Amino acid sequence: STYKTNRYKLSFVFFIGSGKVIAGIDVAVRSMKEGGIRRVIIPPSFGYQNTSQEPIPPNFFDRQRLFTTIFNPTRLANEEGSILGTLIFDIELVNVRHL
């Protein structure tokens, strides 16, 4: 969650289609209206594909740790790949700017 004590302090800005956020967030936000809130279940194919993508939960101390946790080789070896990397986000679209 980027939604802690100060409601908008940890929000982040991104351009739709830029690849800065994971694809599942990009797809969800495209159909949202400003002020809307949505719970999104993101399958691995729309999740983290590399360590440069946002959002990064604050309890992960770095991007590599997040990437290693989601793509855990032990879980993959135990054939848990179908659930590996499934993400759940609650998204609030605070503001939309058209450039």
Which residue would you say has higher pLDDT here, 34 or 75? 34
Structure tokens at 84: 């590996």
What pLDDT is attached to residue 1?
46
C-alpha to C-alpha distance for 75 and 90, rounded to whole angstroms: 25
CA dihedral 3, 6, 8, 14 (to 10 degrees): -60
- Tens digits of residue pLDDT in 31-46: 999 989 999 998 888 8
Which residue would you say has higher pLDDT here, 11 or 87? 87
Sequence length of the chain is 99
CA angle 33, 39, 40 (to 5 degrees): 95
Which segment of 41-45, 77-81, 85-89 scores lowest on mean pLDDT? 77-81
What pLDDT is attached to residue 94?
85
